[in-house]
């Protein structure tokens, strides 16, 4: 059963004009396609400098508990962000990427 509502029309024009994200091709595919090697990729949120030493240290520290689910509420992360930017942790919303945050917003009850 369709409601007859065109939900896209409810969005502001800037949101209506958004195009889906087109991910970059893997380096290996570009090398095959272009017949080149030693590609330095500066797209797709990749880091040409390699993994941060701080990230490697955090991963190493977490190796002993990878079998456990993380805190889904992100309590410690929210607290750290709140301290850093001077907000209360209840003012911070976390998500698994922007799509997740948009999905959360879309599911909020109307006030």
Question: Is residue 37, in this structure, part of any structural domain at all?
Answer: yes
Q: Tens digit of pLDDT for each residue in 42-69?
A: 777 778 888 999 999 999 999 999 899 9
Q: What CA–CA distance (Å, rounded) separates 15 from 61?
A: 40
Which residues have C-beta within 8 Å of that of residue 24, sequence separation ≥ 6? 41, 43, 44, 46
Below-70 pLDDT ranges, the chain: 1-3
The total number of structural domains in the chain stands at 1
Question: Is residue 36, in this structure, part of any structural domain at all?
Answer: yes
- Where does 1-111 show beta strands of DSSP type E? none
Give the structural domain span for 38. Answer: 7-63+70-107
Q: Model-level pTM?
A: 0.52
Question: Is residue 2, in this structure, part of any structural domain at all?
Answer: no
């Amino acid at each position: 059963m369709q409601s007859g509502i065109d939900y896209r029309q409810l969005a502001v024009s800037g949101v209506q004009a958004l195009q889906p994200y087109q991910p970059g091709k893997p380096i290996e595919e570009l090398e095959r396609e272009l017949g080149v090697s030693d590609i330095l990729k500066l797209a797709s949120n990749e880091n040409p400098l390699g993994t941060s030493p701080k990230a490697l240290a955090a991963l190493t520290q977490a190796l002993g508990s990878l079998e456990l689910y993380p805190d889904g509420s992100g309590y410690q992360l929210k607290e750290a962000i709140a301290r850093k930017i001077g907000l209360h942790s209840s003012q911070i919303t976390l998500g698994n990427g922007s799509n997740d945050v948009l999905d959360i917003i879309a599911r909020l009850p109307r006030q």
